[in-house]
Amino acid sequence: MTTTARTTTPTTTARPAAATSPTPRRWSHDTVETRVFGVLRVVVIVGLLLITLFPFYYMVLLSVRPLDQVVGDPGALAVAPADLDLGSYAAVLAPTGSGGQGFLVFMANSALVALGTVAVTLLIALPGAYAVSRLRFFGHRQVSVLFLAVYLFPAILLAVPLFVFFTRIGLRGSLAGLLIVYVSQIVAVSIYMLRNYFDTVPVSLEEAAAIDGCSRLGIMRRISLPLAMPAIMANALFVFMIAWNEFLFALLFLVEQRDRWTVSLGISQLAGSIEVPTTVLMAGSVIVTVPIIVLFFAGERLLVEGLTAGAEKG
């Protein structure tokens, strides 16, 4: 008789795992700073854009609204397309003989003086700044400081002597005399600004060109000036803005010659007359501002582009 032994395997009953509470997410100090500063950056940028663009937007808005609507509701921030009125711009640009303000003549005078000031200033400042940066002579370190010190003199101190001097030589009332005054006022600071940029141009590039037989003038024309183009454009824009917006010397030299007025004198006349509507004044302000904005965006690439990047390896 055979007896079979049976082995009993104990059965285990699976128990459900105990529910675990989720671990609270902890942000590191760097994460908090990154998020906070990211939000603050957006808020600051938006705030600066509003502060910068809103006055210009409101100025444009007033210039295209009918005068009766501006008087009735000056705080309106929008205008219906059907209510757009460009008559203020026509009144500003029309010649005085047709009942306008003659701003086309003023803008032509300002453009002539400003562009001439830029050309003459750069013609003098470029070789002067290059000489101060590259040539070694007695007192070359102090020369740039003297150039900057000239710019620190208030213009009002020079107004009366220049007025008397240009009256005696017969240049008061002429655009050429005004151009000479602007150049004498701006060329010193232009040399100072350009000199600082020429210092950043690698000297080794000029030395290599000199070894290849290039003269000093050729080095400046083929090496230094192309590499300094961002600084030249920035300086040209800076000079143009000063000459375009200058008021004191334009008033002293041209006040008696209306056909030679610049836009700053024209805007002053609009602002000081109670007979000129607000819409016309705003239209004139927009016309004066637009050329500066257009020039800035036209030269933006050269203003921000580092042309010296990668010019020297090793």
Q: Where are the alpha helices (DSSP H) in 19-154?
A: 29-63, 67-72, 87-93, 103-134, 140-151
CATH number at residue 160: 1.10.3720.10
Is residue 118 a part of any domain in this protein? yes
Give the C-alpha separation, 89 to 63, whole Å.
8
Asked if 242 and 161 touch (Cβ cutoff 8 Å), the reply is no
| Of 280 and 33, more confident | 280
Q: Are residues 43 and 187 in the same domain?
A: no
The residue type found at 39 is: V
Q: Are residues 191 and 45 in the same domain?
A: no
| Of 116 and 77, more confident | 116
End-of-domain residue from the set 85, 119, 149: 85
Is residue 27 a part of any domain in this protein? no
What's the pLDDT at 306?
A: 41
The whole-chain average pLDDT of the chain stands at: 81
| Of 141 and 121, more confident | 121
Q: Reply yes or no on whether the pLDDT at 302 is more than 80.
A: no
Q: Reply yes or no on whether the pLDDT at 148 is more than 60.
A: yes
Average pLDDT (289-303) is 80
| Tally of domains in the chain | 2
Which H/E stretch holds residue 231?
helix 229-245
Question: Percent of the chain beyond pLDDT 70?
Answer: 83
Residue with tokens 């757009």: 84
Q: Are residues 239 and 122 in the same domain?
A: yes
What's the pLDDT at 1?
A: 43
What are the pLDDT digits (tens) for 37-57?
A: 788 888 999 999 889 888 889
Asked if 249 and 159 touch (Cβ cutoff 8 Å), the reply is yes
Q: Are residues 129 and 55 in the same domain?
A: no
What's the pLDDT at 10?
A: 52
Q: Are residues 47 and 150 in the same domain?
A: no
End-of-domain residue from the set 28, 52, 85: 85
The least confident of 43-57, 196-210, 271-285, 298-312 is 298-312
Average pLDDT (53-81) is 86
Residue 178: which pLDDT band, with cuts at 50, 70 and 90?
very high
| Of 133 and 108, more confident | 108
Q: Are residues 176 and 226 in the same domain?
A: yes
Average pLDDT (102-121) is 93
Q: Reply yes or no on whether the pLDDT at 21 is more than 70.
A: no
Residue 268, classified by CB atoms within 10 Å of its CB into exposed (0-12), middle (13-18) or buried (19+), is middle
Q: Are residues 255 and 110 in the same domain?
A: yes
Question: Percent of the chain beyond pLDDT 90?
Answer: 15
Q: Are residues 78 and 186 in the same domain?
A: no
The least confident of 43-57, 125-139, 153-167, 255-269 is 125-139
Q: Reply yes or no on whether the pLDDT at 119 is more than 80.
A: yes
Is residue 16 a part of any domain in this protein? no
Domain span at 164: 104-260+292-304
Q: Are residues 169 and 235 in the same domain?
A: yes
